[in-house]
Amino acid sequence: MNDMSKDKNIDIQIYNFAYLDENTKRMIRRALLKALCIPGYQVPFSSREMPMPYGWGTGGIQVTSACLIPKDVLKVIDQGADDTTNAVSIRKFFQKTANVAVTEKTSDASLIQTRHRIPETKLKEQQILVYQVPIPEPLRFLEPRETETRKMHALSEYGLMFVKLYEDIAKHGHIETAYAYPVKTNGNYVTDPSPIPKFDNPKMNNNPAIQLFGAGREQRIYAIPPYTNVKSLDFEDYPFEAMKANFKCSICGSSDSYLDEIIVSDDGKRSYICSDTDYCKEQTQLNSKEEDQ
Amino acid sequence: MMQDFLFKASNISKYYGQNVGCKNVSLDINSGEVLGIVGESGSGKSTLLNCIYGNLKVDEGDILLNDKSKTILNFTKIDEPKLRLIQRSDLAFVHQNPRDGLRMNISAGGNIGERLMAIGHRNYGEIREIASSWLEKVEIDVSRIDDKPSTFSGGMQQRLQIARNLVTKPRLIFMDEPTGGLDVSVQAKILDLLRNLVRELGIAAIIVTHDLGVVRLLADRIIVMQNGNVIEAGLCDQVLDDPQHKYSQLLVSSVLQV
Ligand SMILES: Nc1ncnc2c1ncn2[C@@H]1O[C@H](COP(=O)(O)OP(=O)(O)O)[C@@H](O)[C@H]1O
Ligand SMILES: [Mg+2]
Ligand SMILES: [Zn+2]
């Protein structure tokens, strides 16, 4: 037996499948089922200590842990990329503790954990998208009291949410909120979509996949079941717009995917590339195929 | 026959453990009327006001509102969502301290617009126009619309709170010492403004104060409270010019000395 496999054996002995113990997973699954029954409603759950700091997406990791089964194919992205430190660590964590197959291809994944993006490739039925959420309460910035925000949700008192958009327009001439743009789920609960760019908001609407949200530090889980109406809040005279930088990806040439701005030379020259690395690769391949023909 | 009252509270009692907050108080008010509640500090005025607004749960009594569709609603019987809906459509509450009634980190325009947005206004241009017209009404320079109340003087803050409350044209407004913490000259201006707005809009008001000058200026009728009980009630001029109860006589005479 070589050293590698010895280590692996030890891991499997030490950790339950996907790290969390079965009782904890059952508790989280109950919260998830409740969340799916009441789309957009924040279900409290007793978040566990995870072997990583909160900023690393412990809420999402616990949700993923509770959902994973051995035949799952896992994809992990951070800001759309599979190769950032955060994504690599989480992917390794589940390879080590659950020994599941992993992929970078959106269409091959059965479960995708994400921070700050929704993949460009359309999701399908049978897929699960798990969002890492820092602050689950969309009213928090305006109303610090939890007792009040709960009541506001319960009674659909969302005037205050529009005050935030009003303030944006008053200050900037347009709705400046570009990330974590609030949505109304199933015509009922106002929901924080996590800090995804508002460009991604329309992808949440009527999506065939299951969307699950986990906030570790704040101990909340919420969900959007497949094919649920998700509407971004707006004013009649300032309608919602899914905006992105008006450029083409300098790698694949795509003009309809969300772009990251990067500085490419010492003198500050800028360039734009797809934030979704898998989508960019796919587009590049498609392009070269077309050239071959 | 059913009386044509707007609002009626009967036999309201509220206890804080052993202490009496208010005891067996009844009052009624017709639309467009201003009722003053007077009495010294600790006599139960704020308790009574918060009870009949629906902010404090009463131990005994009924609170009836004759709503827009002429249905009588009993605050002690309806559920919380319904009560909160009435509180933000038919009613309004002006606090003594503007900090309790304003959102200090939201612009003046946003403060006025909130109630509009809460009842479904979704047109930014319209909301802003209405907010501007209300700033004018309460004599705040419209150029301050995007400034936060924290940059306003106490008197301006209080006028903003009044605008924020009146914007949805409630039918009854509750006020607890609305000029309490302000300088005398600032008080006079706000009282003047209140009197004009209430008359112009035909809004009924219940105003709590320990200051008889305030009720003399604003109220049609008053009730006098002592130790949680109502000891005298009647037309404002009548009670102030010819008080019957010993305590009322004391109150009136002490104000004359000022
Ligand atoms: N939250 C409370 N807990 C206990 N006692 C209270 C509370 N609020 C008021 N009281 C008591 O109830 C009585 C009436 O108080 P309050 O309604 O504030 O009078 P006012 O507004 O006329 O000054 C006083 O004796 C006061 O000490
Ligand atoms: Mg008081
Ligand atoms: Zn690209």
Each residue's pLDDT tens digit, B7-29 = 999 999 999 999 999 999 999 99
- Tell whether the model's pLDDT for residue B39 goes beyond 80: yes
Per-residue confidence (pLDDT) for residue B255, from 0 to 100: 64
Residues 6+ apart with CB under 8 A from A211: A129, A131, A204, A223, A224
Per-residue confidence (pLDDT) for residue B185, from 0 to 100: 86
Among B146, B169, B192, the domain boundary falls at B169
Among B119, B143, B169, the domain boundary falls at B169
Taking the C-alpha atoms of residue B133 and residue B163, their distance in angstroms, rounded to an integer, is 10
CATH 3.40.50.11310 fits A2-141+151-232, yes or no: yes
- Is B187 in the same domain as B68? yes
Residues 6+ apart with CB under 8 A from B97: B180, B181
Pick the residue whose CA is nearest to atom 10 on ligand 1: B21
A172 CA: distance to closest CA in chain B (Å): 11
Residues 6+ apart with CB under 8 A from A168: A174, A175, A176, A177
Position B3 confidence tier, pLDDT thresholds 50, 70, 90 = low
Q: Among A37, A40, A55, A253, which one carries the catalytic annotation?
A: A40
- Is B158 in the same domain as B147? yes
Taking the C-alpha atoms of residue B37 and residue B106, their distance in angstroms, rounded to an integer, is 32
CB of residue B43 inside a 6 A radius of ligand 1: yes
Whether B143 has its CB under 8 Å from any CB of chain A: the answer is no
Taking the C-alpha atoms of residue B189 and residue A198, their distance in angstroms, rounded to an integer, is 47
- Is B195 in the same domain as B73? yes
B215 CA: distance to closest CA in chain A (Å): 34
- Helix residue ranges, H only, chain A: 3-14, 22-37, 58-67, 85-98, 146-154, 159-172, 201-204, 277-292
Handedness of CA A118, A216, A96, A33 (dihedral sign): negative
pLDDT in tens, B54-90: 999 999 999 999 987 888 999 999 998 889 989 988 9
Is A59 a known active-site residue? Answer: no
Position A8 confidence tier, pLDDT thresholds 50, 70, 90 = low
- C-alpha B14 – ligand 2 centre gap (Å): 14
Backbone angles phi, psi at B54, to 5 degrees: 100, 10
Suggest the residue from B78, B79, B117 to mutate for an interface test with chain A (most A CBs closer than 10 A).
Answer: B117
- Is B45 in the same domain as B105? no
- Tell whether the model's pLDDT for residue A2 goes beyond 60: no
Among B137, B169, B201, the domain boundary falls at B169
Position A3 confidence tier, pLDDT thresholds 50, 70, 90 = very low
For strand A183-185 and strand A230-232, is the pairing parallel, antiparallel, or unpaired? antiparallel
* Sequence ranges of the domains in chain A: 2-141+151-232, 244-293
Residue matched to tokens 């003053």: B36
Neighbours of B69 (CB within 10 A): 6
Backbone angles phi, psi at A249, to 5 degrees: -65, 130
CB of residue B16 inside a 6 A radius of ligand 1: yes
- Tell whether the model's pLDDT for residue A5 goes beyond 80: no
- Tell whether the model's pLDDT for residue A138 goes beyond 90: yes
Give percent above pLDDT 90 in chain A. 82
Residue of B nearest to A234 (CA): B122
- C-alpha B170 – ligand 1 centre gap (Å): 27
- Is B79 in the same domain as B191? yes
Between positions 170 and 199 of A, the ones with CB within 8 A of B are 170-171
- Tell whether the model's pLDDT for residue B258 goes beyond 90: no
pLDDT in tens, B190-235: 999 999 998 899 999 999 998 898 999 999 999 999 999 999 999 9
pLDDT in tens, A237-267: 999 999 888 899 999 999 999 999 998 888 8
- Tell whether the model's pLDDT for residue A93 goes beyond 90: yes
Taking the C-alpha atoms of residue B244 and residue B231, their distance in angstroms, rounded to an integer, is 9
The answer to whether the pTM exceeds 0.90 is: no
- Is B24 in the same domain as B75? yes
Taking the C-alpha atoms of residue B97 and residue B147, their distance in angstroms, rounded to an integer, is 19
- Is B70 in the same domain as B183? yes
**Ligand that lies nearest to the alpha carbon of residue B16, given by its number in the listed order:** 1
Chain-centroid distance, C-alpha B227: 21
- Is B36 in the same domain as B153? no
Q: Total structural domains in chain B?
A: 2
Pick the residue whose CA is nearest to atom 6 on ligand 1: B16
- Is B119 in the same domain as B215? no
- What's the whole-number average pLDDT of chain A? 93
A138 CA: distance to closest CA in chain B (Å): 16
Q: Which residues pair with B74 in a beta bridge?
A: B64
Candidate from B13, B22, B47, B176 with most ligand 1 atoms within 8 A of CB, to mutate: B47
- Is B200 in the same domain as B163? no
- Tell whether the model's pLDDT for residue A6 goes beyond 90: no
Greater pLDDT, A263 or A123: A123
Q: Which domain holds residue B55?
A: 1-90+171-258
CB of residue B202 inside a 6 A radius of ligand 1: no
Taking the C-alpha atoms of residue B14 and residue B25, their distance in angstroms, rounded to an integer, is 10
Give percent above pLDDT 70 in chain A. 95
Greater pLDDT, B143 or B186: B143
Which of B80, B106, B125 is the closest to A163 by Cβ? B106
A-chain residues within 8 Å CB-CB of B110? 163, 166-167, 170
Contact B106 A167 (CB under 8 A): yes
Per-residue confidence (pLDDT) for residue B81, from 0 to 100: 87
Percentages helix, strand, coil for chain B, rounded to the nearest 5? 45, 25, 35
Is A37 a known active-site residue? Answer: no
Contact A237 B127 (CB under 8 A): no
A-chain residues within 8 Å CB-CB of B113? 163, 166
Is A40 a known active-site residue? Answer: yes
B-chain residues within 8 Å CB-CB of A237? 123-125
Mean of pLDDT values over A186-213: 97
- Tell whether the model's pLDDT for residue A216 goes beyond 90: yes
For the stretch B76-81, contacts whose Cβ atoms lie closer than 8 Å and that sit 24 or more positions apart, written own/partner, are B80/A155, B81/A154, B81/A155
CB of residue B39 inside a 6 A radius of ligand 1: yes
| Window from A139-148, A215-224, B34-43 with minimum mean pLDDT | A139-148
pLDDT in tens, A54-80: 778 999 999 999 999 999 999 999 999
Pick the residue whose CA is nearest to atom 7 on ligand 1: B16
Q: What is the ipTM of this complex?
A: 0.88
- Helix residue ranges, H only, B75-183: 80-89, 98-101, 108-118, 124-137, 154-166
A-chain residues within 8 Å CB-CB of B115? 159
Which of A157, A166, A237 is the closest to B110 by Cβ? A166
- Which domain CATH number covers B205? 3.40.50.300
For strand A43-44 and strand A220-224, is the pairing parallel, antiparallel, or unpaired? antiparallel
Per-residue confidence (pLDDT) for residue B256, from 0 to 100: 54
Question: Between the CA atoms of B87, B88, B94 and B97, what dihedral angle is there, to the nearest 10 degrees?
Answer: 100
Q: Hey, what are B117's tokens?
A: 């947005």
pLDDT in tens, B115-171: 999 989 999 999 999 999 999 999 999 999 999 999 999 999 999 999 999 999 999
**Ligand that lies nearest to the alpha carbon of residue B17, given by its number in the listed order:** 1
Greater pLDDT, A118 or A140: A118
B-chain residues within 8 Å CB-CB of A166? 109-110, 113, 117, 124, 127
